[in-house]
Every structure is written in structure tokens, then in C-alpha cells.
């Protein structure tokens, strides 16, 4: 639809109305003017004629041609009119403008004819001689009750035309001034109406763009003011509704994105409608390159397509399956899928992906651990059982054999006790029981641990050096830290040949305390190094068992470091030795 400015709708009709009114008024007024003017002229001519008629009859001038001419010429000049004196037979006796002798008989001229009948006659006709319209008035000249002639006066109508033209010019001028005033008035009125409309338009545009902070200013025009109020109310209503919707949407989004499970919603055509952040991380995709796209274009996992196409689309209400993802890394996922009701009864699908890789690994670790514990305990128990059987079968009667076998049984029992003690300690550390902490002198901590291992070291002629500043303190649990140090020093003794060296040191490095045990032992290969802190992991099983190792020592050290908010670290070279470190953050008690 073609639109025009508001000004156009007011100005054009206003101008037409004014113009038509002016034309009408001008026409009517000019007509009135013309009639009045004619009546005036008629009456003026009649008065002049009457006056002359009276003078002629009273003075008997009809035969006194010279005097008649003089009076007529004077009157003619005074009133700017032509005067003709006509005899009763119609012959022209005198004319102020022409020679009467050459003038035709005027008896049949309407104004003369009427005057000859005793009436006052008028006529307007075109004078060929003057090439002008003239108005004529004929008045009888009566002496007593005898008609003696006719006085005819006439005037040019040019004057009327001039006056009417002037009148028209004035009307046009008035019209133009009125139009100008109307134009200015319309502009002012229009501005008054248009400005609030423009304000509303601007406000409505802001509301459409979602900016509800502005309000439409009030208008002095009642209707527009009410409309502005309604629009402002609508804006605040909309704003609060949008805010509510946005808040609810943000809450849902926060909940969904804080979930560790991946959530994906599909529409009835298998186009992705929603993905949470766990989903994008799991599948290495982004909302930008996945939303509104088909599932098979974005996630190329046949098992997922199968769950949707053969189960959910076939009316299954709930699907729970485990699948393996191979990209970007290998993971085991548990998938829950349910139909998602959509508009017009069309069903989409909602899928929830749970990464159970870690759970599975933990499960496997637990199973391995149980198997390891059983295995570690079965060995000494089998050994004890074997020697007990042997003793019962008669060896008990031979004191030498009995002593030897009982010694072995004691050693195996001690081993079981060590394993069980280590397991109990590990379980305490695992359970997260809060261990009381205190300020410990690093020097005395090292001395205590070294003293505990002194006998074993002496047996192998291994020298243990202590390197620690006197004033260094550690905040921690003294029993646990001593246990960790004993484990590391025992290992160092166990895996170092006779006459080797061990250095136990505690030093401060920035915000951390570093406890190091360095030996000149057999060292650990690079392939074993990452696994030695695992429970029951041993590099050299025979040497470990022979030295009384349980396979849990380093695992305990790692947990003790973790209980103190720290970590463990190892560097080693086969044949040269190893350095084990416990690094714990320095803290106030």
C-alpha cells in the first residue's frame, strides 16, 4: 500500500477545501458585486437622465440647441457619461460624443423605445462604434403631460470590468494569503500531532529491538497520550515477561550445563535442537556447527542412529544401552534415550550420555585389587598350611626341622601381618578420615625415620646421610610422614646393593617443602616408572618379597602426600639409582 506523510493527508484536503470555498465565495461575491454595481450604475444613469430631463423640460431646452449642448457636455464631463437627446420620432437631436446629424434613428433602441412609452428603459449592448459594452438608460422628457423627447445617458462598462478584475485579484490575494496561513497552521498542527506519533514510532522500534529501558514521553493530545501510556504499560509488561522467560531459560541452561552427563534433544526429523556443554565436550562439537543439523551429519556413531531409528521411532519408551566411542578418545558411554513429545503430536528424542569409562576403570581396579590381595595372602597361607601339614606328619618330632619350619611359619605370618597392616592404613587413608596435623621439626622427622631403618641399612653396610637445615618445620601428621619416610628409606635399602649410599633430605622450594630420598640402587626402567605407585605393582617381584615388601609401600606414600595436599614424584635411571620426592605445600598449622 502506498503511504504518504501525515502532512499530506491534512494539507491537501485543507487546500482543496480552502480553494473550493474561495472559488465559490469569489463567484458568489463577484456576481453580487456585479448585480449591485449594475444597479448602482442604472440608478446613477437614471438620476443623471432624470435630472437632465427635468432641466430640459423646465428650461425648455429642447429647441435651444446650443444651451442644450453646453449643459449636456458639462454633465457628460462631470459624470463621465455619454448623453444623447432623442426626439419623439427617434431622431437624435444631440449627442455628446458624435455628430447627431449622421446618427441613425434611435427610436427602436430598447431604452429609447421604453422612454418613448413613458417608462425608464435600460439596455446593455455592444457599441460597435466604441468597440465596448455600454449601459444605456432612457428617460422621457415630459412637458406638462406631453412627451417632448428622451434623455439617454450611457456609460462604458469597462469600469465595471475593471472593478470586477480588481475584485478578483483581491480575492486571489486573499486566497493565497489564506492558503499560506492554512499551510503554516497545518504545519504547526501536524507537528503537534506528528511529534508524539514519531516518539511512539521510535519507542515501538526500541521495544521491537528488545530495549525496554526507554519510555514513550507523554503527549498533550489526550488520545495520543493514552496510546503512549498503553504502549509503555505493554513495554513494562513485555519486559517483565521476557525477563521471567530469560531467567527460567538461564536457570534451565545453568542446570543442564552443570550436568556432567551429555544431554541432546532431537526433533521428529532427527535434527539437533539442543546440546548441553558436556555433550559438546564429549563429542568435540560446537552448538554453532551442530544445532538445526541432522544427527547423522554431526555425530557419526551408528549405535546412536540405531537406538533412535530402531528403538525410539518404533515406540520404545525407554532405552538404556552402553556404547563405545572411538573419537576423539576411546570412551565407554551409557546412553539413556526417551521419546520427546513435540508440537502436532510429532515425537523427537531426548538422549542422555553418561561417561562410564572412569567408573569401569575403577571397577576393574577394584577387581584387580581384590584378586591381588587374595593372591598376596594366599601365598603365605599356602606356605604356612604346607609347613603345618609337614610338622603334623612327623617333622614336629625332629627338633631341628620343627624349629626351621616354625621359623618359616613365623616369617610368613609376619608377612601377612605386614600386608594386612598396610591394607588397613591404605583403607584409613582412602576413607578420608581427618588426620591431626602439627608443627614438626624436619630434622627430627628425618632422624626418627632413619633410626627405624638403621638396623636394615647396617646389615647391608649402606650409609644413610641426612641433609636438612635445623630451622625447617613441616606442618603435617608426624606418624604418617614418618611412615612415608620409612617406606621410601626401606625401599632404598631394599633395592640398593651392599655398600651403597642413601641421602635423606628436606628442603624448602618456594611455597613447597620437598622431602627427597636418593639412593645408588638398581634404578627403575622408564616403562615401569609410571606404574610403581599402583597397589601391588612390583618391578622385581622376587626381590620385593625377599626383602619383605608388600607391594603397597609406594601406594601408601602417594596417599600420605595427598592427605597433606601434596604429590609424589620420582626420577630414576637403571643401574644408577633413584630419587623419590614427596612435595607438600607449606602451610601454617
CB distance 333 to 356 below 8 Å: yes
CB of 539 to ligand ADP, least distance (A): 3
Of the residues 554, 561, 582, 584, which one makes contact with ligand ADP according to CB under 6 A? 554
**Among residues 85, 100, 524, 563, the one that binds ligand ADP under rule CB under 6 A:** 524
Among 157, 429, 474, 522, binds ligand ADP (CB under 6 A): 522
CB 301 within 8 A of CB 290: no
Cβ neighbors of 424 (< 8 A, separation 6 or more) are: none
Contact between 478 and ligand ADP (CB under 6 A)? Answer: no
Q: To the nearest whole angstrom, how small is the minimum distance from the Cβ of residue 531 to ligand ADP?
A: 9
How many positions of this chain bind ligand ADP (CB under 6 A)?
Answer: 21
Q: Which stretch binds ligand ADP (CB under 6 A): 40-48, 160-168, 348-356, 549-557?
A: 549-557
Q: Which residues, 6 or more positions from 173, have their beta carbon under 8 angstroms from its beta carbon?
A: none
Q: Please identify, using beta-carbon distances, which residue of 512 and 540 lies nearer to ligand ADP.
A: 540
Q: Residue 302 or 575: which CB sits closer to ligand ADP?
A: 575
Element (H, E) at 558: helix 553-563
Q: Select from 491, 505, 513, 518 the one that contacts ligand ADP (CB under 6 A).
A: 491
Interface segment toward ligand ADP; rule CB under 6 A; list 285-293, 388-396, 398-406, 552-560: 552-560
Q: In angstroms, rounded to a whole number, what is the distance separating the alpha carbons of residues 462 and 397?
A: 41
> Minimum distance from CB of 492 to ligand ADP (Å)?
5
With contacts defined by CB under 6 A, name the span among 93-101, 156-164, 252-260, 489-497 that binds ligand ADP: 489-497
Q: Residue 581 is placed in which grid cell?
A: 620426592
The least CB distance from residue 365 to ligand ADP, in Å, is 15
> Does 519 interact with ligand ADP (rule: CB under 6 A)?
yes
C-alpha 259/C-alpha 523 separation (Å) is 45
Measure CA of the first residue to CA of the last residue in the chain; give whole Å. Answer: 83
Tell which phi-psi region holds residue 551, choosing left (phi > 0), alpha (psi between -120 and 50) or beta: left
Nearer to ligand ADP, 95 or 519 (CB): 519
Which C-beta is closer to ligand ADP: that of 81 or that of 491? 491
Taking the least distance from each CB to ligand ADP, the nearer of 153 and 491 is: 491
Stretch that binds ligand ADP, among 156-164, 255-263, 474-482, 490-498 (CB under 6 A): 490-498
C-alpha cell at position 565: 595436599
Span interacting with ligand ADP, options 92-100, 329-337, 345-353, 545-553, rule CB under 6 A: 545-553
Window contacting ligand ADP (CB under 6 A); options: 61-69, 189-197, 426-434, 487-495: 487-495
Among the listed ranges 22-30, 222-230, 428-436, 533-541, the one in contact with ligand ADP (CB under 6 A) is 533-541
Residue number, 333 or 532, with CB nearest to ligand ADP: 532
Q: Is 464 in the site for ligand ADP (CB under 6 A)?
A: no
Q: Which stretch binds ligand ADP (CB under 6 A): 19-27, 161-169, 401-409, 546-554?
A: 546-554
Q: Does 521 bind ligand ADP (CB under 6 A)?
A: yes
Q: Between β-strands 577-585 and 473-476, what pairing exists: parallel, antiparallel or unpaired?
A: unpaired
Please provide the DSSP assignment of 24-63 as one string.
HHHHHHHHHHHHHHHHHHHHHHHHHHHHHHHHHHHHTTTS
Asked if residue 539 binds ligand ADP (CB under 6 A), the reply is yes
Of the listed pieces 113-121, 235-243, 288-296, 535-543, which binds ligand ADP according to CB under 6 A?
535-543
* Cis-peptide, bond into residue 12, ω within 30° of zero: no
- Alpha-carbon distance of 58 to 69, in angstroms, equals 16
Please say whether the dihedral angle defined by the alpha carbons of residues 466, 467, 472 and 474, taken in this order, is positive or negative: negative
CB-CB contact of 179 with 19 (8 Å): yes
CB of 565 to ligand ADP, least distance (A): 22
Closest-CA residue to 547 (of 481, 459, 483): 459
Question: By CB under 6 A, is residue 553 in contact with ligand ADP?
Answer: yes
Segment 564-583, which members bind ligand ADP (CB under 6 A)? Answer: 578
* Residue 53 contacts ligand ADP per CB under 6 A: no
Which residues are CB-contacts of 473 (< 8 A; sequence separation ≥ 6)?
439, 440, 441, 442
> Would you count residue 538 as binding ligand ADP (CB under 6 A)?
yes
229: Cβ contacts below 8 Å, ≥ 6 apart: 218
Residues whose CB falls within 8 Å of the CB of residue 181, separated by 6 or more in sequence, listed in order = none
Q: Please, which residues have CB within 8 angstroms of residue 209's CB and are 6 or more apart in sequence?
A: none
Indicate whether 550 belongs to the interface with ligand ADP (CB under 6 A).
yes
Residues 153, 158, 163, 167, CA torsion sign? positive
Q: In Å, what is the CA distance from 300 to each residue of 231, 292, 312, 340, 351?
A: 51, 16, 18, 21, 15
Length of the chain: 589
> Which residue in the block uniquely carries the three cell numbers 596435623?
437
In the shown chain, the binding pattern of residues 386 to 415 toward ligand ADP, with x for contact by CB under 6 A and - for none, equals: ------------------------------
In the bound state with ligand ADP, the residue whose beta carbon lies nearer, of 151 and 532, is 532
Asked if 502 touches ligand ADP (CB under 6 A), the answer is no
CA angle, 546 then 456 then 515, to 5°: 100
| Closer to ligand ADP by Cβ: residue 284 or 525 | 525
Binding mask 160-179 for ligand ADP (x = CB under 6 A): --------------------
CB atoms closer than 10 angstroms to residue 87: 19
Near ligand ADP by CB under 6 A: residue from 551, 559, 564, 566: 551
- The shares of helix, strand and coil residues in the chain, as percent rounded to the nearest 5, are 55, 20, 25
Q: Which stretch binds ligand ADP (CB under 6 A): 69-77, 81-89, 154-162, 548-556?
A: 548-556
Least distance CB 391 / ligand ADP (angstroms): 29
CB of 319 to ligand ADP, least distance (A): 44
Task: Write down the least CB distance from residue 495 to ligand ADP, Å.
Answer: 3
Residues in contact with ligand ADP by CB under 6 A are 491-492, 495, 519, 521-522, 524, 532, 537-540, 544, 549-555, 578
Amino acid at each position: 500500500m502506498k503511504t504518504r506523510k501525515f502532512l499530506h493527508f491534512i494539507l491537501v484536503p485543507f487546500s482543496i477545501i480552502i480553494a473550493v470555498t474561495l472559488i465559490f465565495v469569489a463567484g458568489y461575491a463577484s456576481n453580487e458585486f456585479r448585480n449591485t454595481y449594475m444597479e448602482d450604475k442604472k440608478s446613477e444613469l437614471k438620476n443623471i437622465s432624470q435630472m437632465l430631463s427635468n432641466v430640459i423640460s423646465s428650461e425648455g431646452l429642447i429647441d435651444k440647441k446650443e444651451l442644450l449642448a453646453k449643459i449636456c457636455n458639462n454633465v457628460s464631463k462631470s459624470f463621465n457619461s455619454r448623453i444623447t437627446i432623442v426626439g419623439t420620432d427617434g431622431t437624435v437631436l444631440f449627442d455628446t460624443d458624435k455628430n447627431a446629424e449622421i446618427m441613425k434613428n434611435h427610436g427602436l433602441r430598447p431604452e429609447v423605445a421604453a422612454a418613448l412609452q413613458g417608462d425608464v428603459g435600460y439596455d446593455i449592448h455592444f457599441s460597435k462604434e466604441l468597440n465596448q459594452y455600454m449601459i444605456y438608460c432612457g428617460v422621457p422628457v415630459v412637458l406638462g403631460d406631453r412627451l417632448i423627447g428622451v434623455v439617454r445617458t450611457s456609460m462604458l462598462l469597462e469600469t465595471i470590468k475593471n472593478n470586477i478584475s480588481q475584485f478578483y485579484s483581491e480575492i486571489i490575494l486573499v486566497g493565497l494569503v489564506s492558503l499560506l496561513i492554512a499551510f503554516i497552521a497545518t504545519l504547526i498542527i501536524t507537528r503537534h500531532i506528528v511529534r508524539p506519533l514519531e516518539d511512539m514510532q521510535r519507542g515501538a522500534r526500541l521495544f521491537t529491538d528488545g530495549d525496554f529501558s526507554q519510555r514513550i514521553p507523554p503527549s498533550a493530545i489526550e488520545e495520543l497520550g493514552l496510546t503512549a501510556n498503553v504502549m509503555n504499560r505493554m513495554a513494562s509488561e513485555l519486559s517483565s515477561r521476557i525477563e521471567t522467560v530469560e531467567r527460567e531459560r538461564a536457570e534451565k541452561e545453568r542446570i543442564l550445563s552443570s550436568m556432567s552427563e551429555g544431554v541432546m534433544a532431537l526433533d521428529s526429523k532427527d535434527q539437533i535442537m539442543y546440546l548441553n556443554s558436556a555433550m559438546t565436550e564429549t563429542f568435540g562439537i560446537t552448538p554453532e556447527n551442530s544445532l538445526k543439523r541432522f544427527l547423522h551429519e554431526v555425530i557419526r556413531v551408528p549405535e546412536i542412529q540405531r537406538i533412535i531409528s530402531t528403538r525410539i521411532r518404533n515406540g520404545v519408551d525407554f532405552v538404556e544401552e552402553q556404547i563405545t566411542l572411538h573419537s576423539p578418545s576411546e570412551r565407554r558411554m551409557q546412553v539413556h534415550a526417551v521419546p520427546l513429545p513435540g508440537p502436532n503430536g510429532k515425537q523427537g528424542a531426548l538422549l542422555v550420555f553418561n561417561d562410564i569409562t572412569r567408573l569401569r576403570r575403577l571397577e576393574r581396579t577394584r577387581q584387580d585389587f581384590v584378586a591381588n590381595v587374595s593372591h598376596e595372602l594366599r601365598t603365605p597361607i599356602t606356605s604356612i598350611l604346607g609347613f603345618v601339614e609337614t610338622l603334623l606328619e612327623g617333622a614336629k618330632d625332629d627338633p631341628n626341622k620343627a624349629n626351621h619350619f616354625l621359623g618359616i611359619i613365623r616369617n610368613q605370618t609376619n608377612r601377612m601381618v605386614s600386608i594386612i597392616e598396610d591394607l588397613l592404613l591404605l583403607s584409613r587413608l582412602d576413607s578420608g578420615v581427618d588426620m591431626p596435623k602439627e608443627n614438626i621439626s624436619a630434622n627430627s622427622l628425618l632422624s626418627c625415620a632413619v633410626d627405624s631403618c638403621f638396623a636394615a641399612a647396617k646389615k647391608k653396610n649402606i650409609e644413610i646421610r641426612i641433609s636438612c637445615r635445623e630451622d625447617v618445620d613441616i606442618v603435617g601428621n608426624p606418624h604418617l610422614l614418618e611412615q612415608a619416610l620409612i617406606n621410601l628409606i626401606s625401599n632404598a635399602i631394599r633395592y640398593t646393593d651392599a655398600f651403597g649410599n642413601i641421602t635423606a633430605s628436606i628442603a624448602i622450594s618456594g611455597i613447597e617443602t620437598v622431602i627427597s630420598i636418593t639412593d645408588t640402587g638398581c634404578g627403575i626402567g622408564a616403562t615401569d616408572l609410571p606404574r610403581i605407585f599402583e597397589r601391588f605393582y612390583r618391578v622385581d617381584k622376587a626381590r620385593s618379597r625377599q626383602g619383605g615388601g608388600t607391594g603397597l609401600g609406594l601406594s601408601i606414600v602417594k596417599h600420605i602426600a595427598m592427605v597433606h595436599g601434596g604429590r609424589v614424584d620420582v626420577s630414576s635411571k637403571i643401574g644408577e639409582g633413584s630419587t623419590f620426592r614427596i612435595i607438600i605445600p607449606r602451610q601454617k598449622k
